[in-house]
Structures are given as C-alpha cells and as structure tokens.
Chains A and B, each alone.
Chain A
Amino acid sequence: MTYLAKPKLHHPKLPVNRLGYTRRDYEGAVSTLCAGCGHDSISAAIVQACFELDLPPHRIAKLSGIGCSSKTPTYFLGNSHGFNSVHGRMPSVLTGANLANRELIYLGVSGDGDSASIGLGQFAHSMRRGVNMTYIVENNGVYGLTKGQFSATADKGSKSKRGAVNNDSAIDLVTLAIQLGAGFVGRGFSGDKAQLVPLIKAAIEYPGAAFIDCISPCIAFNNHAGSTKSFDYVRAHNEAVNRLDFIPAGGEITMQAAPGSLSEVPMPDGSVLRLRRLSEDHDPTDRTAALNYLRQREAQGEIVTGLLYLDPEPDDLHAHLHTVPAPLNRLGDAELCPGSAALERINAALR
C-alpha cells in the first residue's frame, strides 16, 4: 500500500473562504479506511469546520495515537504537520507540542481503544491539565484496526460480531471529561454532520481543553444487531440536547429559525456560542447539572448528543505555568542562556 495523492485540480467555481482557500485545501490523502466507516464522516466534518472557520491549514497541528481512527489525520488537512504517535499516548505528545508553541491550533484524534483502554491515564491527565486543544475520540466501541475486539467503551451486555457478550462496565468518556475538569465537553454522531460541524468549530475556538466523544460506527466489526454503537441503534436512541451555531468574533450572525429556546454564551475572545436548546432541562454551564442530566438520560437508554458542558471561564495549561506569551520554541540564546558572568557567580557561591 502506498500513499495516494488526491488530484489537486481545483474547479474554478469552488467556493473560497476568507483566506482564499477552497474546501479542497483542507483535505488530505485519499482514505484507506473501509468504505462507509464512520471515521471518514468525522474527517469530512473536520475539513468543513476548518474551512468554515477560515483557519490557515499550516497553523494546525494534528496528532493521533494508533488505530483506524488515529490513521485519519492523513486523510484531512494535508498542509498541516501531523504526528501518528504511539497507542494511547497522543495526549502527552500533544501536551509537549503545545508547551513548545502555544500559537498553533492543536487537534488530537483518537479512538475509544486508544483513549479509554490503553490510554485512559493520559486522556484523564490531559483533561485535568487543561491543555488547549480539541480532542476528538472516534468512538466505535471496538478495536477496528486489530479486528473487532471489545474496547472499554463497549456497553455492558453488547454483543460482538462473533457473538461474544461484553460483561464489563462501559467507560463513559464524556462523564469522565466533565469530572476531570475539561472546559468544553460534547458528544456527536458521525452520521449527524449538521450537529457535528458546529460542535467541532466551537471546540476549536474554545481556549482550553475541549473534548468531543463522537460515536462512529465501525461497519466492519460493530454495526450488527446487538451492538450499541451501530448506525441503527444510535439513530434510534440519539437524544440531541441542543443544536448549536458558533459565531466567531466579529463574524456575521446568521441563524436559521429553529424550535426550542435560544441561549447565547459569549466566549472570552468575543465570539458567541448560540445554543438552541431542544431539551429545556439541560444547562450546559452547570457541571453538576450536566452530570445529573447525562445519568438520567442514560438510564432511559438514550445517547445524549450536543454540547453537554461548557465552562464559560476557560483556563489553560500555559496560564497555570505562567509562560511567556511568545512560543517557547522561538526563544533564542539571549533569552535562555544566563551567560558566563552569571556562572562565575554561581561558582563563587559553591565554594
């Protein structure tokens, strides 16, 4: 298998964004995933979100672990630096990268095996550190790349394609992320792009740890009857708590009329999150309420999607560490090396 470059011929009438990029400029190599894999829809949503946000592609760094999901950064943002790291450890690599240069946009892509099984520790600690990033788990409840073993997000009682029943409790990454201190927590479904694209846009713009658990059926190993991560099951049980629009700072405000009450959440940079609440009893800025709501709905067998929790006063690791505003990777000898005169004083104090 070798790399397949996409033909770069642009249709002259392709729409361009404010930076003059077409949607094509945000795409990557041709996907080698199974046709119909949920992960490809998420890649498409990422492309759309970055295009719509007018992001310069080279200012995004995309990092992933190992798995079908973690392969996807090859298939979007071809002009961005990417890093396919090791299984379950993307969060630490992303954290280090972020420490080196706080000016780039960090996109972490992972799978449910990658983040909830082998990498649960790193997932948890990156959330509690408040690394400024968008962390997307493409959650199919199985290990796709190693052919269909249960992952730690598989629901108790769900059946594998080969008929085995999962007896272990499922880990709910959304609940964990909220408990651990992530500032932005949402859940999407690869089959609902209208909800997913604004969710990703808002997460990217959020200046703190933003986490999206995106249910993404594996059509090869987890799309059968008895699976709780199949297209049919998710469609039947999806309970969207809100629809959101993300309005960047200074951007034009356009809203389609929609049912449900509307609330606006201003972000520190002047942008606005508009939440069209479908469910009146969910307040995403109240951590305890958000957790309660999730539990209640889950008890009803519903998979709640939408923006589930949002800390309106975001914070991030660089703020905690009081780092200089300039990226650390740009500091030179003059700023970093105290020089020989200082060393002489140090020597003198050591006698």
Chain B
Amino acid sequence: MSLKLERVNDFVVKFANVNGSGSASANELFARSILRMGVPVSPRNIFPSNIQGLPTWYEVRISEAGRLGCRGGVDLMVAMNPQTWTEDVAGIEPGGYLLYDSTKPLPPSQFREDVHVIGVPLTELCNSVYTDPRQRQLFKNILYVGVLSALLDIDVKEIERLVGEQYRGKDALIGPNLEALKLGRDYALSHFDCPIGLKVRRSKALGDRIFIDGNSAAALGCVYGGATVAAWYPITPSSSLAEAFGRYCGQYRVDPETGKNRYAIVQAEDELASIGMVIGAAWNGARAFTATSGPGISLMTEFLGLAYFAEIPAVIFDVQRGGPSTGMPTRTQQADVLACAYASHGDTKHVLLFPEDPRECFEFAARALDLADRLQTPVFVLSDLDIGMNERVCEPLGWDDSHRMDRGKVLGFEELESGKEFGRYLDVDGDGIPYRTYPGSHPARGAFFTRGTTKDRYARYSEEGPVYVDNMERLIKKFETAKSLLPQPEERRAERPARLGAIYYGSTSPAMLEALGALQSQGIALDLLRVRGFPFHERVAKFVAEHDEVFVVEQNRDGQLRVLLMNECGIDPAKLVPVLHYDGAPITARFIVREIAERASLARVTPLRKSTP
C-alpha cells in the first residue's frame, strides 16, 4: 500500500453507528474537543426516521480554513455498524483510514487494499471492565473516543474537561467515563504509531465563533424578538425549535417575583390548530410563531390564505426536509420554496426569509417578528434540516439594546380618542399598509369585523367587484413595499469582470463559497449573489441582467427559486441555469464545482464553434 493520507486540521471523520446505541453524545464529545483546540469543525447527523436499531452516521469535517459545507468522501471511517460495513468501507478515500472493532476477526475480503486498517478489540476491552450490558454499550462509545484522541493527537485534557462539564452535578458518572476514555487511549498508544497521518493541531482559527444549531438559534431569536405565543405540532426537523423556545423561556421569561410565565406555548393537536392559534394571538396583538416542516405547511395553507387576505401577522418557521411523511423526513432539502411563496387559495404571495446559518436563524427570527407586524402578513423563515438540526460554527449572536420591537401601524386608545380616522383597510400612507387596532382598545371606536376579502376599506361587508379589486391592488402595493424592508441580497464579485453569475440561498452558502475558490483556481470567474428574502430586491434582477448566464444553485429537483425568479422578475428561462442537488444529503462544493465547471467549459466552446464557418 503506497498512498497514505497526511493531513493536519483538514479532513473528514465519519462515524457509522446504530440508532439508539448512545453514540450521539460520544460523537459530539469528539467534535467539541477539536473545537476546544480552536479548530473549526462542522458535524452532520445523518439519521433514519426511526428511534432504535437503524443505521445512523455522524460526519465531522475538520477544517482550519473554516470550510463548513459538506465535503463529500471520508478520510477516517469509524465503522461501528456491521449492517452498513460494505458501504462505509467503500466510502473511504484512497489512502484513508478505517477504525473498527476487531473483537471478532473479519476475513481479508472485507477490507480494502488502499485503506489503512486500525483494529481495536473494543467489545473485548469493554467486556473485560464492565459487566452491565447498558454500560458496556455506552462506554464502548467513549472508548473509541479515547482511541481517536490518540490516533489524531487530540488534547485529552480538553476531552476530560468536556466530560466534567457534561456531567456537572452527576459527578458519579465522571470517573467511569474518564476511565473508559483512558482505556481506549492507552490501547491505541501502545498498539499503534500515533498519530496516524491525520492530525489535529491547536489553532486560533476558531476565534470567538460559537457552536450552535439553527433551531436553537431561531428559538433564541424568538425570545429576543418578543414572541409570547408559540403553537406547534411535533415534526422532524422542526420540533427542536419549539422545544428550545420552551427551554430559553424557562430561563429568560419567568417573572422573577411571581414565578409566572411571560409566554404561552401550546402543543396543538395538529398544524391547522397551530397556525390558527398563531393567527388568533397575532390578531389580538401578541407576537406569535409556529415551527413546522413541509407536511405541516400543507395543512396550514387555508389559514395562510386567510392571514394574507385579512392581513394578520404570523411567523412560520419551515425547517425543510425531503417531501412527504414517508419521503425523506430526516434528510435535508430546500423543496418548500414554492409551497410557501404561493401557499393557499386565490391570489396569494408570501414573504420569505432564507437564513444561511444559525446566526442568521437568530437574526431572521427576531426580524421576522418585526416584519410580520410591520407588513401585517405571514412571514416564513425557510431554514432546513442541515442548518436547523446540526450544530454549526458561526459568528457570535449579536443584539443591539437600542432595538425596540416594531409593532407596525397600530392605533391605540389615544389615537382613536383623538378622532383619527380609522378604516381597517384604508391605505393612508400610500405604502399599501393599513392601520389596525387590537380588540378592546376603545369603548366606541376602532372595532371592526375581520374576514377574508368580502369587505371594503372600512371592513364593511361587500361582495362588489370593484371593491374586491381595490383591495387586491393594495395588497400588491404592500408586497412591493416589502422589498425594501427585507434583508438585502449579498453580492460577491469576482476579481475580474465575470460573464457568469450564480444565485444561491440558505444552507448552500458554505458549499458555494468553497466551490467559488475551487472554480477560481480552474480559471472560471464567477460573481455570486445570495438571496436572503422574497419578494426579491431589485438588485436580484439587475444581477441577472448583468450576466450572460446565471447558475441557480438549489437543493431541490424542480429549481424552485429559479421558477420564482422567472415568474416574479420576468427573466428569460434560458439565462437561468439550474444546478440542482436533491438526494437528501447536503449539497457539496465538489458537486457545485463539477456542475459549474462542466457548464462553463461547454459555454467556452460554443463561441469557437460559432466562429468556424
């Protein structure tokens, strides 16, 4: 065997485990210990829709350069699941490493010539020390973390510190965990030449960045943004958002004197009820949100139409996953873009925000609450499983203490008392956004009846055509107003003028940025635009106009953002080249580079052919 991967702070380790075997916390311990050494990591859970018994994987990309996208390929495979052995071994890069439990000998045919095999009798070691079956299982996981610490030269002190933090208050558990760690480490040190070719080296690359999952960050954004009512129905991958909101509220929203809650969370009977509660609460002046995924959005669509037409704020987090309940419920996609943009009956369009990482999940959550109040309409925050459920290295969360909740155009008692004219659907300011009142504000003024579109500017019942059209035109004006209020697109220009551009959004960011570097080194100049909101800012159409061809990079089959661009900006479809990744795994830089490089070289050939007579 010739090739041997030699890498420092730049490799991928993948763990193959069985769901429910307690591997998750050991794997996380591994990832965190590298972070504590100042080296950025990006871990990803790949798990089945199952509680116990099916295969799960945990993939950790270690990258001092801060490449946080999914890379593709594995440099060190920790193969703990016999069920998936064959595919796990096959996924290792040539010259890579395989760590496995060598308690039971395996025939040579089970291995690969071009992979370095590291066998540790984990089960045997474990059974020699522990008698309780559950302990044997759990400590086997810690044992391989110990082995890895030696193989990769991870500072064991960091792991020990993390164990101490994890079991603070349950001190009896600390000793046995450290023991298992040592057992594995010592075995590796005395049996192998440590470190192997892959090595972690202490670094300052991480800086002050934090490590958090998007759902927790979004929940925190809801706390900071002043949400008081949350209604939800459990669905992967969104449940942890609502659960985190409950946890943070328990810490930050309890009246210190009375112990009473400054929030209300209801686990509703379904998504219809969740969104109904959100709409009822927002109609009545509270900030409210729900968190769901694709199938939940489907159930909410009737209510979303009502909220659009009746102009009621609502914030909906759609943590996207693959399709139906028996689709790819635990895999990531960006496939609800159109379902959310045009959710419901009649002529409806909705405001969408696309966070790229947990930091933006936090920022956009708080911002969505302001926008929903300002625009009096549903606002969707479209994240996905990849950023929602995986912890990600990102800039620290920031908050400006001078920020005040923007409650939008609300007439209170004083304004009503002063005789200010009130027409619930009257466009007073010319921006399409009317004024509203909260129920109970004034004894004689400001009451109105909320219904869909059978109403005039003063919320009086009307089924007349011109009155309907008048209202619908104002709603479009309001949608135009939204463009200037949403987070603006981010552009990144190539060093020299580029005739090619790429548009991307959401969790595609790290893969796209990594791809950009690789494409540059292949001589392909590419301008980038990251869409952060819908309706699109005018700069989006301008960006397309400035380029001959624009790749639209997305994680769905049908090029949903591309459709939205064509539809809303009147762009010639021929100019928008779809780059689509939708197998349920996160998009990789390798994929983007391959797709774009191929297209770009084709494009380069075309003019040559044209010039030949």
Contact = CB atoms under 8 A, between A and B. Distances in A.
A343 interface: yes
B303 A89 contact: yes
B211 A351 contact: yes
A333 B402 CA distance: 10
A65 to B, nearest CB: 10
Contact of A97 (B283, B403, B462): B283
Interface stretch (A9-17, A142-150, A264-272, A317-325): A317-325
Contacts of A91: 273, 276
A74 B441 CA distance: 19
B280 A329 contact: no
Contact of A92 (B226, B268, B464): B268
Interface of B: 35, 208-212, 220, 223-226, 228-229, 231, 252-253, 255, 258-266, 268-270, 272-286, 288, 302-303, 306, 396-401, 403-405, 437-444, 447-452, 456, 460-464
B444 A340 contact: no
A300 B241 CA distance: 53
Interface stretch (A79-87, A197-205, A302-310): A79-87
Interface string A309-351: 0000000011001111100111111011111101100110011
A30 to B, nearest CB: 11
Interface stretch (A56-64, A168-176, A224-232, A255-263): A56-64
Given A89-B273, A339-B401, A81 B226 contact: no
Contact of B261 (A81, A82, A324): A324
A25 to B, nearest CB: 9
Nearest to B36: A351
Interface string A104-123: 10000000000000000110
Given A82-B449, A101-B286, A2 B461 contact: yes
B276 A96 contact: yes
A302 B276 CA distance: 37
Contacts of A329: 228, 281, 284-286, 438
A78 interface: yes
Contact of B224 (A317, A318, A343): A343
B280 A97 contact: yes
Given A61-B440, A85-B276, 9 more contacts: A2-B464, A57-B447, A92-B276, A95-B277, A96-B277, A100-B282, A104-B440, A337-B403, A351-B211
Given A80-B439, A97-B280, A85 B264 contact: no
B277 A3 contact: no
Counting chain A residues whose Cβ lies within 8 A of the other chain, the interface size class is 35 or more
> Secondary structure at chain B's binding surface: helix, strand, loop or mixed?
loop
Contacts of A1: 461-463
A208 B26 CA distance: 48
A73 interface: yes
Contact of B447 (A3, A63, A80, A317): A80
A50 interface: no
A351 B394 CA distance: 10
A93 interface: yes
Contacts of B231: 92, 96
Contacts of B283: 83, 93, 96-97, 100
B266 A333 contact: no
A125 B268 contact: yes
A26 to B, nearest CB: 12
29 contacts: A1-B461, A58-B442, A58-B447, A79-B447, A82-B448, A83-B450, A83-B451, A84-B452, A85-B276, A85-B306, A92-B274, A93-B279, A93-B283, A96-B286, A100-B282, A124-B269, A125-B269, A318-B264, A328-B264, A329-B281, A329-B438, A330-B285, A333-B226, A336-B253, A337-B225, A338-B223, A347-B396, A347-B397, A351-B35
A3 B258 CA distance: 48
Given A82-B449, A93-B279, A322-B260, A331 B228 contact: yes
B461 A99 contact: no
